Amino acid sequence: MIEKLSKYIPQNAKVPLNEILIKHPLEIKIVNERATKHGDFKRTSNHKFQITINNNLNHYQFLLTLIHEIAHFVTFKKYNKVKPHGIEWKISFQHLMLPFITPTIFPIELLPLLANYLKNPKASTGSDVNLTYALKQFDDNSGKCFIFELSNGHNFIYNGKTYKKIKLRRTRIECIELKSNKVYLFNQNAEIESIFNE
């Protein structure tokens, strides 16, 4: 399994990850990009456990997502039915991440952001704008940017529709979908395609 994953993770993560996978064997599938999630964990119809991870993630995001999903498996084995991202999962995730929080695996500039995120990890790394932005710097240039990087009044494309950024509300960004004139609220770190305003 580790050989299959080795091209997706930092080189120095192979040994600690292999130790986790020996202790917690499960099926891991690499899948095409999904717009709504980086990865997931589920029990299959034949009662086996499966993790899927998007194939377009950079090494650091891939590793973080993989450990996030393995933590679901570990939590399920230990507690069976608990909240998906409750305290039991948080503790499992923190514990599993400890061997990887080192400058031999993650770039030094990511370490304080990861440490801060892991104090109280959320359902998605996307909830931490600073960490998401820092991880994004290691992506291949996809032509996308974050909505918070645009100035107010700028047009952008998201899921094939064109919007105009209006203003920041408390934690979300108010935008108008130009065709329907409806107002939508976006997470600050939603990935969008910026287009030039006429």
- Is it the case that residue 197 has pLDDT exceeding 60? no
Which CATH number is correct for 145-194, 1.10.8.60, 1.20.1300.10, 2.70.98.10, 2.30.30.30? Answer: 2.30.30.30
For 142-157, give one letter per residue: b (16+ CB within 10 A) or e.
Answer: eeeebbbebeeebbbe
What is the fold, at CATH topology level, of the domain defined by 2-136? Zincin-like (3.30.2010)
Give the pLDDT confidence score for residue 11 in this predicted structure: 94
For 162-187, what is the mean pLDDT?
93
pLDDT of 198 = 46
pLDDT digits (tens, 9 = 90+) for 152-173: 999 999 988 999 999 999 889 9
Buried b (16+ CB within 10 A) or exposed e, 183-193: eeebbbbbbbe
Looking at residue 148, its pLDDT comes to 86
Residue 133 clears pLDDT 50, i.e. is over it? yes
- Examine the pLDDT at 128 and tell me if it is beyond 90: no
pTM for this entry? 0.75
The one-letter code for the residue type at 27 is E
Q: Which two tokens stand for residue 175?
A: 């935008």
Task: Tell me the per-residue pLDDT of 8-44, one tens digit each, with 9 for 90 and over.
Answer: 999 999 999 999 999 998 999 999 988 778 999 998 8
Please list, in sequence order, all residues whose beta carbon lies within 8 angstroms of the beta carbon of residue 93, skipping any fewer than 6 positions away. 67, 68, 71, 118, 121
189 or 79: whose pLDDT is higher? 79
Q: Residue ranges of the domains in the chain? A: 2-136, 145-194
From 137, 140, 66, 130, select the one nearest 107 (Cα to Cα).
137
- In whole angstroms, what is the distance from residue 20 CA to residue 96 CA? 8
Q: How far is residue 156's CA from residue 93's CA, in Å, rounded to a whole number?
A: 35
Token pair belonging to 49: 């456990």
- The residue type found at 65 is T
Q: What is the pLDDT of residues 45-97, one digit of tens each?
A: 787 899 999 998 999 999 999 999 999 999 999 988 888 899 999 999 999 99
End-to-end, the C-alpha distance of the chain in Å comes to 51
Kindly provide the residue ranges of all beta strands, DSSP E only, lying in 124-181, ordered along the sequence: 145-146, 155-158, 161-168, 172-177
Query: Rounded CA gap, 191 and 178, in Å?
Result: 18
Average pLDDT, integer, range 179-192:
90
3-state DSSP call for residue 43? strand
**pLDDT recorded at residue 15:** 95
pLDDT at 184 over 90: yes
What confidence score (pLDDT) does residue 33 get? 86
